[in-house]
Amino acid sequence: MEREQNMHDEIWCLLWMVMVFGAGNSRIWTILEQYDTPQKAYDALHHRDIIAELRLPEHTCRRIHQTTETHVNEMLERCRKLHISMIWYGDDAYPEQLMAIVNPPVLLFYQGDMTLLQNHLLLTVVGTRRATEYSLRIEKMFCDDLVKLGFVLVTGFAVGVDITANLCALHLRRPSIALMGCGLDVPYPAEHFQLKKEIAACGLILSEFLPGTSPAASNFPLRNRVLSGLSMGTLVIQAPLKSGALITAECALDQGRDVFCVPPADIFDKRYMGVIKYLRDGAIPVFDSRDIVYEYYTNFAHMIAASELYHENSRKTESLVMDFSDAQKSSRKKQKQPEAKQSEPSVSSEPDVNDPLFEADDAPMTELQRNILALLQKQRVMHIDILAAELDVPMGELATALTELELYGRAERMPGKQFRLIG
């Protein structure tokens, strides 16, 4: 009971410090190192002489006086009502890998399974918000393989590459992790608010930013040090030179973590120039999911689903390499085979891949997605409100389904919240 009370007191004091200094402010650690515990630091910051010694900015001094016990208790109550939990750096469940980075979060807000951050193979996946069809196809193949093998994917939950990785895990009913650059209760990206709940239900969403914090541009570079710090390595799918994904890759290198890059589809295409830079600087090129797996297999074999790895090796070997003896048999058979008589063309048993309702093996569709495609096939172009009315589904659920169809190249978003069928 006493230990629980002490933990509550430490979290309370840290919450006050985050409200005063702001999430990710390294000055918090400077003060904690000087005063040992959050409680002692809180007490020290209420003495004028100590505040003067610390030479804090004027706006910080004002917030020290303006942030009262009532404000902290109101924030705690807000978290309780939103079912948002908190974990501090002194908790046993706090991820050890974060304590190895510069300026780790003193406090994390989360919903879902916090144990995913311990004793799991974590891989951060980053990339541009405007990924090409090539990049998304490669990403889905890699992510599907890695998730089946036991990896837990970590993303910054941005539109494009990030959310595609989360969707891959959800489709396979496996957990993933989404690290937000805003408060957990903030609907950002707005069209994926429902998806955030789905990730929390079977995985984990977390943030170092207070509930209610808007997604300011300055939040995301700050978040990226944690995004890379959670994992053993970072996989860059596609990135131009000024992509935020490269900030995460740079953080990973600074933290001594691995950086993997998917080779570009076109070395002259500016949309891949950021990836080329890191490949030149020594990033590990990834041509197959096994290029990532084998980096960790020696030390983490007990965490990797070996049967899946064997199956994957067999499948890829059989599909890419023909046994020499089989090739000889096939050649002799063709030489002896008499010329076939012309006959009426038979009806093919193969599905028509050009049919927009065709469901490829790598993109299983829900009933809602099938119904959306059926409507778009009839109407060609439809407004999202009309789709919602026709299908009688909540707007959040519909937006998620439409986004997934976009990512798989089955539907296209047009100006004015209209959608059309591709193909």
pLDDT per position as a tens digit, 2-12: 445 556 789 99
* Helix, strand, coil shares, percent, the chain, to 5: 55, 10, 35
> How far apart (Å, rounded) are the C-alpha atoms in residues 218 and 336?
72
Give Cα separations from 52 to 28, 62, 126 (angstroms): 16, 13, 43
To 5 degrees, how large is the angle CA 146–CA 152–CA 157?
105
CB 20 within 8 A of CB 60: yes
CB 64 within 8 A of CB 58: no
| pLDDT at site 244 | 84
> How far apart (Å, rounded) are the C-alpha atoms in residues 99 and 259?
20
Q: Which domains does the chain have, with CATH numbers?
A: 2-82 (no CATH), 109-306 (3.40.50.450), 367-421 (1.10.10.10)
> How far apart (Å, rounded) are the C-alpha atoms in residues 88 and 17?
12
Residue 215, Cα to own-chain centre: how many angstroms? Answer: 16
Give Cα separations from 48 to 19, 39, 43, 247, 304 (angstroms): 19, 17, 11, 39, 55
| pLDDT at site 328 | 40
Q: Which of 27, 90, 36, 33 is nearest to 64 (CA)?
A: 27
pTM over 0.85: no
- Helical pair 384-391 and 367-379, crossing angle rounded to 10 deg: 120
| pLDDT at site 4 | 54
Instruction: Output 34-43 pairs: Cβ under 8 A, ≥24 positions apart.
Output: 37/10, 38/9, 38/10, 38/11, 38/13, 38/14, 38/88, 38/106, 39/9, 39/10, 39/13, 41/13, 41/17, 42/13, 42/16, 42/17
To 5 degrees, how large is the angle CA 225–CA 229–CA 230?
125
Contacts of 187 (CB under 8 A, 6+ apart): 193
Mean pLDDT by 10 residues, the chain (423 residues): 63 95 93 91 87 83 92 96 95 92 95 93 93 92 93 94 94 95 92 90 96 91 94 93 88 93 90 89 90 86 67 46 37 42 37 38 72 86 83 79 78 78 79
Tokens of 122: 């974590």
Residue 182, Cα to own-chain centre: how many angstroms? Answer: 14
Helix (H) or strand (E) holding 312: helix 306-320
DSSP 63: H
| pLDDT at site 58 | 85
> How far apart (Å, rounded) are the C-alpha atoms in residues 114 and 206?
9
> How far apart (Å, rounded) are the C-alpha atoms in residues 224 and 126?
10
> How far apart (Å, rounded) are the C-alpha atoms in residues 370 and 388?
14
Q: Which of 126, 95, 106, 91 is nearest to 38 (CA)?
A: 106
End-to-end alpha carbon distance in the chain: 63
